[in-house]
A and B are shown apart, each in its own frame.
Chain A
């Protein structure tokens, strides 16, 4: 394949990934501040962001550790929050499965909500893309996000001062995730899946280890798939 189409796929990924910096920057900054205030050292705070690289799980782990939860509870909860990564992995396999193993391993490291959302949307809209172009697109999308995630965690940890609660940064995460979902509500099946997801997450919010999240997610996927099957059968 000519390098020029790979380059243009990389640049497209870069362009489509860049807006997500608006989300990652405050989120990473906030993690740096919160984890430092909870008493973690700078290397530990950076360790979370570089080794785990998953915002929601990092916040869950730090929160539970600050409450002196048992080690196993911390690990089980944070991994449960990250179970969706396996769904993302499966979801991208039809598009990237034929790539060399080392490329798939690198994609796996950089696979999180924002990179998944931008990549899945692009791959679905452009079925004619080659596997190499998809890998290039993914690399482009990750390029600005990883340094921003590491760098802003560092800034937050070093600045160390709490961001005033008037900024309501607690709500940056919900707004971000809802904004990522809303444009995807294209069909009745998507709307029903999202509705199921919300309803069951609220009903089962009290369950430990984020089990409510997993139940809601699996049921919502089943609802979406079943409605698609019935509408297709008509």
Chain B
């Protein structure tokens, strides 16, 4: 790695400011004004639109296996979603996913 201290901090501070501006964007500029209905209808789907896309490639092509699909990780992802949907509980889903992952990694060696 060939980063000077100043170069690294320039990146950290730029990312910090840029990220804050994105977080503050609508909260800061819109204030108490009401957003249009069509926009609100889109925004209701933000979590289910962003988070699956964020992790889907890592589920199917895990970096830890060099990008080869891994039965243990795929099964853990499916179990996590199924249990989370069924129990409506984030923690139950994480627990079930972790147990599945470790059990299959152990069994499949």
> Which chain A residues have a beta carbon within 8 Å of chain B's beta carbons?
19-20, 22-23, 38-41, 44, 47-48, 51-54, 56-57, 61, 65-66, 68, 71, 74-75, 78-79, 81-94, 96-98, 101, 104-105, 107-109, 111, 113, 116-117, 120, 165-166, 168, 170-171, 173-185, 189-190, 193-194, 196-198, 200-202, 205, 212-213, 216-218, 220-225, 228-229
A69–B8 CA distance with the chains assembled, in angstroms:
12
A117–B35 CA distance with the chains assembled, in angstroms:
20
Q: Is there contact, CB below 8 Å, between B22 and A79?
A: yes
Kindly name the residue among A85, A182, A193 whose own CB sees the greatest number of chain B CB atoms within 10 A.
Answer: A182
The contact sample of 16 A-B pairs, CB cut-off 8 A, is A39-B1, A68-B2, A79-B22, A85-B23, A107-B27, A166-B105, A170-B62, A174-B58, A177-B51, A178-B51, A183-B87, A196-B49, A202-B56, A205-B57, A217-B53, A228-B41
Contacts A168-B101, A173-B58, A183-B88 given; does A90 touch B22 at CB 8 Å: no
B11 at the interface (CB under 8 A from A): yes
Kindly name the residue among B7, B9, B31, B44 whose own CB sees the greatest number of chain A CB atoms within 10 A.
Answer: B44
Chain A residues contacting B38 (CB-CB under 8 Å) are: 225
Kindly name the residue among A20, A44, A53, A174 whose own CB sees the greatest number of chain B CB atoms within 10 A.
Answer: A174
Q: What number of residue pairs across chains A and B have CB atoms under 8 A from each other?
A: 284
Q: Is there contact, CB below 8 Å, between A212 and B53?
A: yes
Q: Is there contact, CB below 8 Å, between A178 and B93?
A: yes
A108–B32 CA distance with the chains assembled, in angstroms:
15
Interface of B is mostly: helix
A49–B57 CA distance with the chains assembled, in angstroms:
24
Q: Is there contact, CB below 8 Å, between B46 and A88?
A: yes
> Which chain B residues have a beta carbon within 8 Å of chain A's beta carbons?
1-3, 5, 7-16, 18-20, 22-28, 30-35, 38-64, 72-73, 76-77, 80-85, 87-91, 93-94, 97-98, 101-102, 105
Q: Is there contact, CB below 8 Å, between A66 and B12?
A: no
